[in-house]
A and B are shown apart, each in its own frame.
Chain A
Amino acid sequence: MDQNRKVHQFKNPVLNWIEFRLPIISYFKKEYGDYPMPKNCNYFWSFGALATITLVTMIVSGIFLAMNYTPHTDMAFDSVERIMRDVNYGWLMRYIHSNGAAFFFIIVYIHIVRAMYFGSYKYPRELNWILGVFIFLLMMATSFLGYTLPWGQMSYWGATVITNLFSAIPIIGEGLKTWLLGDYNVGNATLNRFFALHYVLPFVIFGVVGLHVAAVHVHGSNNPDGIDIKSKNDSVNFFPYMLIKDTIAMCAFGVAISAVIFFGPNLMAEVDNYIPADPLVTPAHIVPNWYLAPFYAILRAVPDKLGGVLLMFGAIVILFVLPWLDRSKVRSCNYRPIYKWFMMGFFVNFFVLGYVGMLPAEGLYLLIARVGLLYYFGFFFIITPFVGWIEKPNKLPLSISDVYSKNIAPNIGGGEKGVPSPAMQKDTNL
């Protein structure tokens, strides 16, 4: 091996000993110490850190719950009740875990909204976006599997409805469903494998999160103005500035989640899931977890089984290609006077879809769901490519520092990419 490679020297001999054998200290210094963050990043940029912390919290609380949980159809419900009543602090573990899942989705949705609004998915961060959508998919799968485990009525019927989606696939559907369930209906074999998968998938998520973070660190974080760092003046070091900022965000988040865990732990839970699973009685109204409701609304808006299933999965898959549907070079919607409103409309629409997804699919609600469905896909297939083509974006600042200076020079480089004028380059560049 290369004995002559340059080894980072520290004052502490123990660190030097480790660094020589595994250059992990210089890695952390580079990625989490001196790592430059755009200095205009607002609190939206704390949600990646919040999501990571929540993931760790979910894994830890989940491991401790698993120590007292029994994945068997006859005992699962009772073992969860035992956790709630008899296990020391079991109620706390469970409420952290169940509400943590809901907050995990809130955080990730805000994280996605931020990425969409400020154009973080665009060049050169497309792969980063793809990894993120993949994490989102894994999260939905994991939360669905986890929701089955308490073996209440909603657990059982939620699992039945979702696994039946696969039976919509022509020819192989029924066989695939039976193979996934390990039985002809949701039963003990299903519960066992769901538990095994629910335990392992978060570690897969953790791995993909590692790639997601590594990828964003290659080109650095995006920022509210969507322009690149051009000089040292444009950025601050991650440590201590962003770490402190993220810590404040984390404190606020801690207050919010604690308020729910301690004062309204069942706010986001379904009452029917406190009734043990009964394969002979379907609850009058099957409700998905609110964070999956928008997709459920899309499923029900289509009066055809296969069509509904395809559109529901399509609604997620379409996210993967967003970077290629949006042809505008301008990242941030702050500088896109038309697209900005369609983007906000998309967020509102998603919220409305979620709302009707939790109500019966009849009459007006069904109509709203169908309009929402049209806007959802219309946004991606028509609005995004079309607006990117006709819209004239506002002039971008020449640099991030420029955002803070009063006298913004006329943008000679044209309104498109904020290319600094030669005069400005002399000022701001190294």
Chain B
Amino acid sequence: MAKKPKNKRRDFLQLSTVTLGAVGTAAFIWPFLKSMSPAEDTLAAGSTEVDISAIEEGQSITIKWRGKPVFIKKRTKDEIEAAKMVQAGDLRDPQDDADRVQKEEWLVLVGVCTHLGCVPLGQKVSDMKGEYDGWYCPCHGSHYDTSGRIRKGPAPKNLDVPPYTFLNDTTIKIG
């Protein structure tokens, strides 16, 4: 059925009105959606400097960085050996221990389980450390090794390593 020119004109007007309306609505909604994203001051959350001179071998401290716990651990020789012995290829999230540390005795991790965001146990001497002697998440049973890599349980990824630099031998800047 051939359309008359008059109908074509009406179709065009209808289509362009609807299109413009849709674009306008989307443009109106966008600021509202975007306002829910982290605000500028949240994004600007700075870095943290930590004095690590008092940490003994085998000891671990928890500091707060951008609202999250960060684990700083001075590993023992045995723990370093255990972490190095593992073949990266056998892991769920393959990564060599050397890629996760800058100085091998210092392990810096974001202490947030990659499963559903709980803080794993293992920071205190009395804590459960899991089957791989690293960290154990009590919420849903994820086991991490002495390099913070996921070895058993539902978590999909290794514990994150935050960006950090050694300012000198006794100070780490995180962020």
Contacts and interface: CB of A to CB of B under 8 A. Distances in A.
Interface of A: 157, 160-161, 163-165, 167, 178-185, 187, 189, 193, 279-282, 284-286, 300, 302-306, 308, 360-362
B66 A184 contact: yes
Nearest to A162: B116
Contact of B68 (A161, A185, A281, A308): A185
Contact of A361 (B33, B38, B67, B140): B140
A341 B39 CA distance: 55
Interface string B62-96: 10101111000000000000000000000000000
Contact of B42 (A165, A182, A284): A182
30 contacts: A160-B116, A160-B117, A161-B139, A163-B117, A164-B115, A181-B38, A182-B36, A182-B38, A182-B42, A183-B38, A184-B67, A185-B66, A185-B68, A185-B117, A189-B38, A189-B39, A189-B42, A279-B64, A279-B67, A279-B69, A282-B118, A282-B119, A282-B120, A286-B138, A286-B139, A302-B154, A305-B116, A305-B155, A306-B156, A308-B154
A180 B64 CA distance: 22
Interface residues of B, number: 30
Nearest to B37: A179
B141 interface: yes
B157 to A, nearest CB: 9
Contact of A285 (B115, B138, B156): B138
A184 B43 CA distance: 9
B66 A362 contact: no
A189 B42 CA distance: 9
A182 B37 contact: yes
Contacts of A305: 115-116, 154-156
A176 to B, nearest CB: 11
Interface in B9-53: 33, 36-39, 42
Given A279-B64, A285-B138, A182 B118 contact: no
Which residue, B36, B64, B121, B137, has most C-beta atoms of chain A within 10 A? Answer: B36
A390 to B, nearest CB: 38
Which residue, B64, B117, B156, has most C-beta atoms of chain A within 10 A? Answer: B117
A281 B38 CA distance: 24
Nearest to B69: A280
B156 A280 contact: no
A184 B68 contact: yes
A284 B124 CA distance: 13
B67 A183 contact: yes
A282 B115 CA distance: 14
A5 B153 CA distance: 70
B38 A184 contact: yes
Contacts of A157: 118, 139
B118 A161 contact: yes
B117 A161 contact: yes
A160 B140 CA distance: 13
A279 B65 CA distance: 11
Contacts of A187: 42, 67
Cβ-closest 8 pairs across A and B: A164-B117, A164-B116, A282-B119, A282-B118, A161-B116, A160-B117, A280-B69, A185-B67
A17 B153 CA distance: 70
A239 to B, nearest CB: 45
Contacts of B66: 184-185
Contacts of A282: 118-121, 137-139
Nearest to B153: A303
A167 B116 CA distance: 8
A360 B39 CA distance: 37
B112 to A, nearest CB: 8
Contacts of A360: 141
A146 to B, nearest CB: 19
A302 B153 CA distance: 10
Which residue, A157, A279, A305, has most C-beta atoms of chain B within 10 A? Answer: A305
Interface string B146-160: 000000011110000
Nearest to A283: B138
Nearest to A175: B37
A236 to B, nearest CB: 50
A145 to B, nearest CB: 14
Given A178-B37, A181-B38, 20 more contacts: A157-B139, A160-B116, A161-B116, A164-B116, A165-B116, A179-B37, A182-B36, A184-B42, A185-B66, A189-B42, A193-B36, A279-B64, A279-B67, A280-B111, A282-B118, A282-B138, A286-B139, A308-B154, A360-B141, A362-B141
A335 B62 CA distance: 63
Nearest to A362: B141
Given A184-B67, A189-B39, A279-B69, A160 B118 contact: yes
Nearest to A165: B116
A356 B28 CA distance: 46
Contacts of B39: 182, 189
A296 to B, nearest CB: 10
A86 B120 CA distance: 37
Contacts of B154: 300, 302-305, 308
Contacts of B62: 280
A253 to B, nearest CB: 35
Given A281-B119, A300-B140, A308-B154, A179 B36 contact: yes
Contact of B64 (A163, A184, A280, A284): A280
